[in-house]
Structure 1
């Protein structure tokens, strides 16, 4: 276990917050441990819902992989509000863990994937054409997410069953058109990390298409991803900056941000997710990224009283 809670006296202590299934951190996140040690920062992997953790003993608590929170969001948000030195902070966690933030960003002028919302108890009748994605408004790691071709009668039935399953569990459902460019161009994730003068662009990656068909409610917590390095275009960077400019409270409070974009029907990038709570940062896919994340953590430590 990485988590020994006994760093050397006098060193800043940082909790890297994770979940029970990844008690030793996601492999990508482990890449920051060396650069943190080089900077004299002691880091522990700490499970967010472990009642034995002494959170005030840490100078900073960095949300990394608490990916089991989706079915316990209220508990997770309440926990975040009690943790001193949490980054990203609790109010960001509250806002960003419910994807209704997409509607706010769209209203602010950010080009965002079109979304219909189906509240628990509301009826939903699928159309008879087009491909759509059905998913809950609160989820992590593409859990409970499926792709449906409504021209297929079986898919129509499965899509309706998916919405009913979420509704019966009291969960708000999102229905979005499937953006076919993800099958060719892929999804672009733009990663931003804190620097002395604010949030800075660090690197970008390409994610291949993940949704191959309906969700039958039997998947695990994680799905395999096809990741490769990518050079962000000026248009993608512009949309990312526009998105971040609309974050409530501003970007000065953020340690990191991930902006996920897919080309829309006209080829221009549209926002599919803004990840501010527990995003994979893919620091293993860009030279110097582990060091930049360590420096971002050091920057936030320096701001602490």
Structure 2
């Protein structure tokens, strides 16, 4: 009988801080699978010896995006990579919010500024202030919100990012985020569990890259409308198959409707420590993908058989 080998892909930061990582490894091993934790940029990693490579906590990818995308492309033809390289590439830049909006998914209204864009401080005027962030970011990196009347500060923030050659997102600040962000986790294409967490941008005008990204995490029962909005976002993913894992972050707009803040398909925290049922869903989905891998004679360029 052949041995099924699975790589759980992480980073130095993931090894140190990912509380779900040991839970995943132990649960998969308890199911009889051979599992290794592997750094995505390990120089001697032989990815072809794994039946499946599952990305979990590659938390430094934003700082080395080009290297990471090359890694995903090359690894995706040496083993089955989940989520697949084309999905990773699409999701690595938050311009995907524009694609969601074009599919009539309810998203936070977003204006993108590209290097060379001409604008004035008046472009940052919103009734409740604005949020300025780079389009390639994680954990609210280089992100801040600005109160009404501070549009010149917001414009300076945007210009700083543009001067670095980075695309910029400008979004209206939604005050009902104070009621909490909702994170809906989908595993194997189906809804698994959800959490609510406290908002991040509590101090206006401050770029704090050392902030703790997930505060006040608590189990949450999403509404039917929130589930529908999340499913609409998942349906817009340009992939022939459902992702192995996905997290849809929602907030409420000013009339109480859920809108997509982010759709995370690369290395989101899945809050498995808060949901043993979610951990079981994850293990079952990985086991199913690993079984499919064993019967795949050759990978296509899209990462599928």
Give the structure-2-normalised TM-score.
Answer: 0.89
Q: Distance in 2 between matches of 1:158 and 1:61?
A: 43
1:159–1:214 CA contact under 8 A, matched in 2: no
Partner of 1:75: 67
1:191 corresponds to 2:215: no
Please state how far the C-alpha of 1:161 moved relative to its aligned partner. 2.4
> Partner of 1:32: helix, strand, or coil?
helix
User: Are the equivalent residues in 2 in contact too, given 1:145–1:215 (CA < 8 A)?
Assistant: no
**1:29 Cα deviation from its structure 2 partner:** 2.8
Q: How many angstroms apart in 1 are the aligned matches of 2:184 and 2:213?
A: 20
Displacement after TM superposition at 1:125 (Å): 2.4
Which residues in structure 2 correspond to 1:96-175 (within 5 Å)? 96-127=91-122, 128-129=125-126, 130-151=128-149, 155-175=150-170
Aligned to 1:265: 254
> Using a 3 Å threshold, how does the CA distance of structure 1 residues 144 and 115 change in structure 2: closer, same or farther?
same
Provide the C-alpha distance between the structure 2 equivalents of 1:221 and 1:98, rounded to a whole number of angstroms.
Answer: 21
Closer, same or farther: CA 222–91 of 1 in aligned 2, 3 Å = farther
Match of 1:5 in 2: none
Aligned 8 A contact 1:187 1:207 in 2: yes
CA contact (8 A) 1:162 1:215 kept: no
- CA distance, structure 2, for counterparts of residue 78 and residue 214 of structure 1: 37
Q: Take 1:249 and 1:216, find their aligned partners in 2: how far apart are those partners?
A: 37
1:222 deviates by 5.6
Is the 1:124–1:163 Cα contact (8 Å) retained in structure 2? no
CA contact 1:25–1:45 (8 Å) conserved in 2: no
- Cα drift, residue 124 of structure 1: 3.1
Q: Which residue number in structure 2 is paired with residue 240 of structure 1?
A: 230
- After TM superposition, the structure 1 stretch with the greater mean CA deviation from structure 2, 49-58 or 122-131, is 122-131
Counterpart of 2:220 in structure 1 is: 230
Task: Specify the SS of the correspondent of 2:260.
Answer: strand
Q: Which moved more, 1:160-169 or 1:19-28?
A: 19-28
- Matched-pair contact (CA < 8 Å) for 1:148–1:213: no
Cα distance in 2, alignment partners of residues 182 and 113 from structure 1: 11
Unaligned runs of 5+ in 1: 1-8
Q: Which residue of 2 aligns with 1:287?
A: 276
Shift of 1:244: 1.2
- Given that 2:19 and 2:273 are in contact with CA atoms closer than 8 Å, whether structure 1 keeps it comes out as no
- Partner SS state of residue 31, structure 1: helix
Alpha-carbon distance in 1 for matches of 2:20, 2:232? 28
> What does residue 302 of structure 2 align with?
none
Secondary structure of the 2:276 match is: coil
RMSD of aligned alpha carbons: 1.9
Report what 2:3 is aligned to. Answer: 11
Q: After superposition, what is the alpha-carbon deviation per residue over 1:33-66, rounded to whole angstroms, capped at 9, x for unaligned?
A: 2220121112222111121211111111111111
Number of residues of Structure 1 aligned to a counterpart in Structure 2? 288
- Correspondence 1:88 to 2:78: no
Q: Which residue of 2 aligns with 1:211?
A: 201
